[in-house]
Structure 1
């Protein structure tokens, strides 16, 4: 076994990550192109992800589903890779707080629209 094929720790294929996290292959390749994750390639050019990349994908998927942008996620991942756990946690908390504020704002706008809709005579039940 050559040094280039030596595997240290668990590895995951593109298919593994798709199955576990419900993302598309296109999304994973895009995250790789953006530098958010890295993959090792074998001689057939098949991608293999290590445990750190798997954790990064998990965080990306969770934050994307909440509406976080890739630039924000990239900064959080940079802190993670630099071993800055307190900064990483603070940034995730800030991101979640911003997302929560956005949801609250949208909820209030929805409630106002609902009240207005029900107050208009043409929409009253006969």
Structure 2
């Protein structure tokens, strides 16, 4: 069953202009009918769901386009870079949580008086 851009957007939970933009930047391939209207079939909707999921896990549109490249090695390289970036972010977030938790539990009245806080502050 084919859908219009509006129907596809509703099904995906996004705005129609987002689908147009994805098509414009090459992240989504949409065929046209005889009148030039976009036609969203099951294959196109599945491709759009993939773009949406990749966007939601943090890939930029250029990364999405590369991750959906026909050449698997190209796609894998993009995804590996994103995994490394996310893992680095997790480490930084965990360090932030550790520091903040210490400030909550710290026995010193002022953070400047605490050698442990000073250590956290000096860390890169």
Same fold, TM-score > 0.5, yes or no:
yes
Structure-1 residue corresponding to 2:113: none
In the alignment, structure 2 segments of 5+ residues that lack a partner are 111-124
Deviations 1:16-69 (A, max 9, x none): 332332222121111011011122233554321233322221121112112111
Contact 1:68 1:95 survives alignment (8 Å):
yes
Structure-2 residue corresponding to 1:12: 3
3-state DSSP of counterpart to 2:98? helix
Mean Cα deviation higher: 32-41 or 18-27: 18-27
Q: Distance in 2 between matches of 1:42 and 1:109?
A: 53
Structure-2 residue corresponding to 1:65: 56
Question: Displacement of 1:72 after TM fit?
Answer: 1.2
Give the TM-score taking structure 2 as reference length.
0.64
Q: 1:43 to 1:71 in 2, by over 3 A?
A: same
Structure-2 residue corresponding to 1:92: 79
Q: Distance in 2 between matches of 1:100 and 1:21?
A: 28
Question: Displacement of 1:75 after TM fit?
Answer: 0.8
3-state DSSP of counterpart to 1:38? coil
Structure-2 residue corresponding to 1:29: 20
Q: Distance in 2 between matches of 1:104 and 1:17?
A: 38
Give the aligned CA root-mean-square deviation in angstroms: 2.9
